[in-house]
Amino acid sequence: MIHLVLGGARSGKSRFAEQQVANIVKPLPQHMDIIYIATATAGDDEMNVRISRHQQDRITSKLLWQTIETPLALADCLNQIDKANQVILVDCLTLYLSNHLLSLAPEQLQNGILSSWQMEKKQLLSTLPQLQSHIVLVSNEVGSGIVPMGELSREFVDQAGWLNQSVALLADQVSLVVAGLPLSLKAPKS
């Protein structure tokens, strides 16, 4: 099962995604491994605080999380750790995208050369449907605001929108979280 959880900044999407993981694990009689794939990198003090807050939330959740930090090679990581009786939470796809865009040289952006990101995205999209694990993916919905002024910011918004659309197409379930309230955009087929 693939569940995509979308939402804006501070919408409650990560908390909702963690609850979805708990809902998968709790009713099952067998043991399930619970993996948290963190794509964030701590580039400044504010991001360190955000990462610490997410870590503390997981500690208090009463689930036994195994954390893997994967800022760039998400598809490879998923392929390496995939197995049955496992739930994987990826938080988040837009940080994963940011990491890729920031790894490009400025002239690659100016020339529209995003081939390394496109290859990584293609690999992720081909990996997701093959996974045995339950997977919950968190991503920011960034297309509801104003069009950014900078080239890199506009490229990010475009690429995030296309990534979210592609993952939503593959997903069994898609939820949008606004003000802490989830809205079902796509429900699993019975």
Asked whether residue 42 is assigned to any structural domain, the reply reads yes
- Whether 177 shows a pLDDT value over 80: the answer reads yes
Q: Find the catalytic residue in 3, 31, 54, 134.
A: 54
Length of the chain counted residue by residue:
190
Backbone angles phi, psi at 132, to 5 degrees: -85, -30
- Whether 115 shows a pLDDT value over 90: the answer reads no
Per-residue pLDDT tens digits for 144-157: 877 778 888 888 99
Tally of structural domains, the chain = 1
- Whether 109 shows a pLDDT value over 70: the answer reads no
Asked whether residue 189 is assigned to any structural domain, the reply reads no
Q: Please give the residue range of the domain that contains residue 101.
A: 2-184
Asked whether residue 146 is assigned to any structural domain, the reply reads yes
- pLDDT score at 129: 97
Mean pLDDT of 9-27: 91
Q: Which of 147, 51, 144 is nearest to 92 (CA)?
A: 51
Per-residue pLDDT tens digits for 47-102: 667 667 766 766 656 678 899 999 999 999 999 999 999 999 999 999 999 999 88
- pLDDT score at 170: 98
Asked whether residue 179 is assigned to any structural domain, the reply reads yes
CATH number of residue 150's parent domain: 3.40.50.300
- pLDDT score at 47: 67
- pLDDT score at 35: 94
Asked whether residue 190 is assigned to any structural domain, the reply reads no
Confidence of residue 134 (pLDDT cuts 50, 70, 90): very high
Asked whether residue 16 is assigned to any structural domain, the reply reads yes
Side-chain-facing half-sphere of 85: CA atoms under 13 Å: 6
Q: What is the identity of the amino acid at 134?
A: H
CA distance 61 to 58: 5
Asked whether residue 157 is assigned to any structural domain, the reply reads yes
CA distance 95 to 101: 10
Active site residue 54: yes
Asked whether residue 151 is assigned to any structural domain, the reply reads yes
Side-chain-facing half-sphere of 106: CA atoms under 13 Å: 2
